[in-house]
């Protein structure tokens, strides 16, 4: 490999999280917050409201994408929105999660990973957004049956990583 090729490859690896250019449009902190919350709320709206006891906002904030050793000022950010959906007694969350995944797959979302948790009593899935206006967005959902606890589905959406200016940070 030539020196130019090595330098180009190194810059691509170091810049992998910024996702700017042709695949993911540049976004602002406010746009990332708005779209990530809309993605999570869209997933929640696909759930039968008769099965939902309450919805709790857990997290709605940005965080650094690269770590302080690479990006000490935190100028490469990602927005994360997390909600807990607590179901009425008797709701089979695993069946509901399977149905929800099938529904969003018809909307273009792709199941990236799926794994059992809590000895098969629960499941965690990761979905990737379609390559449209939500390119680079992802959703993780997990649920499980835990003795003596209400059935909860955790839905966490994340934006692609993006660059911000120091002036944009709170």
How confident is the model over 118-133, as pLDDT tens digits?
Answer: 777 789 999 998 877 6
**Smallest Cα–Cα separation from 117: which of 94, 89, 86?**
94
pLDDT, average across residues 105-113: 90
Reported as a pLDDT band with limits 50, 70 and 90, residue 70 is confident
Residues 43, 6: Cα–Cα separation, whole Å: 42
What would the two tokens of residue 167 be?
């002036």
Range of the domain at 141: 3-168
pLDDT at 108 over 80: yes
β-pair partners for 116: 123
Per-residue tokens: 25:
């449009």
Output the domain CATH number for residue 58. 3.40.1000
Q: Which residues have C-beta within 8 Å of that of residue 91, sequence separation ≥ 6?
A: 51, 151
How many separate domains does the chain show?
1
pTM exceeds 0.85, yes or no: no
- Alpha helices, DSSP H, located in the chain: 3-14, 29-45, 93-106
Exposure string of 103-133, with b = 16+ CB inside 10 Å and e = fewer, is: ebeeeebeeeeeeeeeeeebbbbbbbbeeee
């Amino acid at each position: 490999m030539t020196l130019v090729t090595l330098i180009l490859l190194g810059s691509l690896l170091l810049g992998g999280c910024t996702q700017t250019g042709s695949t993911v449009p540049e976004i602002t902190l406010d746009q990332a917050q708005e779209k990530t919350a809309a993605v999570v709320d869209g997933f929640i709206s696909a759930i039968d409201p008769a099965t939902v006891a309450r919805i709790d906002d857990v997290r709605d904030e940005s965080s650094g994408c690269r770590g302080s050793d690479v990006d000490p000022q935190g100028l490469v950010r990602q927005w994360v929105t997390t909600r807990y959906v607590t179901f009425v007694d008797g709701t089979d969350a695993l069946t509901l999660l399977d149905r929800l995944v099938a529904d969003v797959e018809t909307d273009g979302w792709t199941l990236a990973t799926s794994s059992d948790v809590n000895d098969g009593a629960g499941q965690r899935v990761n979905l990737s957004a379609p390559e449209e206006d939500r390119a680079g967005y992802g959703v993780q959902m997990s649920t499980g049956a835990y003795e003596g606890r209400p059935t909860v589905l955790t839905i966490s959406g994340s934006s692609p990583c993006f660059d911000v200016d120091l002036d944009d940070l709170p």
